[in-house]
Amino acid sequence: MFKVTPNPPNGPDLKLNQAAHRAIDHYLNASTERPEPPPPPSKTLFSVAEDANTEVLMANSYETFSSVTALLLDLSDELTGKQRDVALAIHQLSELGVLLMDKLMTREAAIS
């Protein structure tokens, strides 16, 4: 019977061959310079990129305050009494943050 597709080639496995060459290069052709050690792990869970420009920081701050404001308004609809008062007080503070960021963004746009 005639087979339409040929058998796989019996040659070396290309991926295995490449991995072997990388290993040989790593151990036998190592450069004299030692690689830089990785930076120490951060002590905080979240951080802000050092090279973030002012416009990006302001826009993200504004969006964060706006999101908190919307979440607090939705939450306050479901609360009553003192808990509702606390949620609305936090909403007022976050709205103040939105206004401050809006003023800052307006000033920055006027300077640019």
Specify whether the CB–CB gap between 63 and 27 falls below 8 A.
no
- pTM metric for this prediction: 0.55
Question: Tell me, what's the pLDDT at 83?
Answer: 93
Question: Tell me, what's the pLDDT at 2?
Answer: 65
Q: Positive or negative, the Cα torsion across 89, 90, 94, 97?
A: positive
Where exactly are the structural domains of the chain?
Answer: 54-111
Q: Quick check: 30 pLDDT over 70? A: no
Which is more confidently placed, 110 or 33? 110
Read off the pLDDT of residues 42-63 as tens digits, 9 standing for 90 and up. Answer: 788 888 888 888 888 989 999 9
First to last CA, the chain: 79
Question: Tell me, what's the pLDDT at 46?
Answer: 81
- How far is the C-alpha of 64 from the C-alpha of 53, rounded, in Å? 17
